[in-house]
Amino acid sequence: MTRSIYIGPWRIDVDVRDRVPRVLATAEVARVAAAALDAVDGPAPASLGVILSDDVELGELNARHMGATGPTDVLSFPWLPPAAFAPGAAAPDVPRPPGSRIHLGDIVVSVERAMEHAHAGRGGQTGDVRWSPADELRLLVTHGVLHVCGFDHATPAEEGSMRGLERRLLSGGYRR
């Protein structure tokens, strides 16, 4: 089931696969994604896809797109270059029908992996946090959206910047 939720300049299309348990309300998933987009001042108006799935689908996507074996917790598929999210950047000149939104990209999250990490105490940014599956899902959605918006954690400086923004978002520093 896909539900489009409009929050400010954003349309968040949340698709919850049939076989996936509900650990967070669809509206809350959209609010978390919108808060991350607000924090990075993404091009607007825009849309973002959030797919809540399971380990089977994430394993298939991980193999196909990342060349990695096994499932992962979240994958991001940005449609715009990172420069589109630079401070002061103009909205990209992407051909589209009048009145339509720029699509920023899609993220796919394994709710199964979020639940497992939360219950086993392998959650959070450090991989040693025991908290609710809903909190872990909030982190993964935030993390995925930031990747769509050009953030990465390949170097210590990038990781510090991205993780710091995640902490502020998760603590309510950018609440809608």
pLDDT (0 to 100) of residue 105: 96
**What would the pLDDT profile of 88-127 be if each residue is shown by its tens digit?**
777 677 777 777 789 999 999 999 999 999 988 877 777 7
Q: Tell me the range of 46-60, 85-99, 129-143, 148-162 where mean pLDDT is highest.
A: 46-60
- The more confidently predicted of residues 125 and 146 is 146
pTM (2 decimals)?
0.92
Is residue 154 a part of any domain in this protein?
Answer: yes
Mean pLDDT (the chain, rounded): 89
Domain that holds residue 11: 2-170
pLDDT (0 to 100) of residue 173: 63
Is residue 176 a part of any domain in this protein?
Answer: no
**What would the pLDDT profile of 54-93 be if each residue is shown by its tens digit?**
999 999 999 999 999 988 999 999 999 888 888 777 767 7
Residues 6+ apart with CB under 8 A from 114: 23, 73, 123, 133, 136, 137, 140
- Find the CATH number of the domain harbouring 136: 3.40.390.30
Q: What is the rounded distance in angstroms from the CA atom of residue 174 to the CA atom of residue 169?
A: 5
CB atoms within 10 A of CB 84: 20
Residue spans of beta strands (DSSP E) within 85-149: 102-110
Is residue 31 a part of any domain in this protein?
Answer: yes
Number of domains in the chain: 1
pLDDT band at 36 (very low <50, low <70, confident <90, very high): very high
Mean pLDDT of the region 160-164: 91
Is residue 175 a part of any domain in this protein?
Answer: no
